[in-house]
Amino acid sequence: MGMNTNTLDQILDTAQQLVQTLGYNAFSYADISKEVGIRKASIHYHFPNKADLGEALVTRYHNQFVAALTQIDEQTTNDLEKLREFTVLYKAGPAQDFRLCLGVMYSTDYITLPEKVQDRLTRYFTANLTWLEQVMTHGLDAGALTFKGTAKTQAHKFLAALQGAQLLARSYNNIEIFDDIGGELITALANN
Amino acid sequence: MGMNTNTLDQILDTAQQLVQTLGYNAFSYADISKEVGIRKASIHYHFPNKADLGEALVTRYHNQFVAALTQIDEQTTNDLEKLREFTVLYKAGPAQDFRLCLGVMYSTDYITLPEKVQDRLTRYFTANLTWLEQVMTHGLDAGALTFKGTAKTQAHKFLAALQGAQLLARSYNNIEIFDDIGGELITALANN
DNA sequence: GTCTATAAGATGATAGAC
DNA sequence: GTCTATCATCTTATAGAC
């Protein structure tokens, strides 16, 4: 992470870190400028306006996330283990200076976001929920997981709890709160 | 709500709505000015700087929240019913134009908040978690609730899931997602 | 308590030289 | 692609009259 050398990726890396730390409305082109060592006008060359930058951030994030899910699918066929790996993905933000994942930060900024960014965000969450629901469904059928209600509802709850776990860990400057919640989510689904 | 007539409360009401909708960094004294029909300088008379206003908002919110919890305690001794009422409190924001509760919005703004506001936020969450943990503990002992692990962990997960439920409902403009998650949280704890 | 006037700085953004 | 220079607008905040 952050090892990119070309200007465009350096801008995206820096902007993403700033969004995950401060939020979409609290970072500026001047902030990126200082960090990357480039003038504000040069950033506007790559991303004419903030909406373009904001959209590029979700799009890249979404693609990287899908790649990570694919890797989990290739890594194991154990549904409970898949879910555990999913919680690891959601720990990446909090583990670095209690950053929030891009999705959580964008969803609180939602109303202030340009429409095209809002749309991309929703699609990102749908990718999350679709994958989770599939794992829940398969896990229940295969006897690897146990839960009441529908797989869709479980997917909703699972994702929501991880998002809230990021918020609580941040508010207490305590990563153990995230681990506590993440661990419980897995335990509750374990069939034994 | 929003029925206050004196200027100070009107400022607080408007500011709170703006924070819950836009976030701490995305609303300005000018926004409040327009809504209340008062000049910016007059707002500075009541709240010299934004940190003062931000702090007054959490403090008032915290007090109102504690009062609501007290009312729940007086209303019922059924632990599952208490938790269900707690989810109703957390639905108040999303039910109004998909606002987030003040705690969720502030926790994403956390790093940009003045220190005294950060402290108040943490105390607010502690009030949430303490109450939830007590209900979990009592409910397990009395046989009204069922869950694995500690009451503290359950309290963490319960609160986190409701926070995430607000974010997902907002990102999909769909209150049913909140209801789905809230309902599941109760179902999963029901002892039958 | 509320107003007008005003300040100093930040913000997203553009024009045009190199 | 990156720069300097500049813009209109918004931000929080203060001084002082009514």
- The Å distance, CA of B179 to C1' of D11, is 39
Supply the pLDDT for residue A166: 98
3-state secondary structure chain B: CCCCCCHHHHHHHHHHHHHHHHCCCCCCHHHHHHHHCCCHHHHHHHCCCHHHHHHHHHHHHHHHHHHHHHHHHHHCCCHHHHHHHHHHHHHHHHHCCCCCCHHHHHHHHHHHCCHHHHHHHHHHHHHHHHHHHHHHHHHHHCCCECCCCCHHHHHHHHHHHHHHHHHHHHHCCCHHHHHHHHHHHHHHHECC
Across A103-121, average pLDDT: 97
Within B 23-82, residues with CB less than 7 Å from strand D: 27-31, 40-41, 44, 48-51
Among chain B residues 18 through 37, which have CB within 7 angstroms of nucleic chain C?
A: 37
> Given an 8 Å threshold on Cβ–Cβ distance, is B154 in contact with A184?
yes
Instruction: Identify the band that residue B4 occupies on the pLDDT scale cut at 50, 70 and 90.
Output: confident
A77 SS3 class: coil
Cross-chain residue pair B164–A161, CB shorter than 8 Å:
yes
Decide if B157 and A185 are in contact by the 8 Å CB cutoff.
Answer: yes
The pLDDT tens digits for A53-76 are: 999 999 999 999 999 999 999 999
Share of chain A above pLDDT 90, in %: 96
pLDDT at B3: 63
- Which residue, B166, B65, B61, B55, is CA-closest to B113? B55
- pLDDT confidence of residue A175: 98
Residue B44: partners with Cβ closer than 8 Å, 6 or more residues away: B29
> CB distance A148–B188 less than 8 Å?
yes
- How many Å lie between the alpha carbon of B74 and the closest alpha carbon of chain A? 28
Tell me the nearest-neighbour CA distance from B150 into chain A, angstroms.
Answer: 9
For helices A102-109 and A7-22, give the axis angle rounded to 10 degrees.
60
Contacts of B177 in chain A (CB under 8 A): 156
A-chain residues near B180 (CB < 8 A):
152-153, 156
Q: Which nucleotides of D are covered by protein (CB under 7 A)?
A: 1-5, 10-16
Nearest Cα of chain B lies from the Cα of A130 at a distance, in angstroms, of: 14
Confidence of residue A3 (pLDDT cuts 50, 70, 90): low
Instruction: Work out the angle at residue B180's Cα, subtended by the Cα atoms of residues A86 and B155, and round it to the nearest 5 degrees.
Output: 65
Whole-structure pTM over 0.85, yes or no? yes
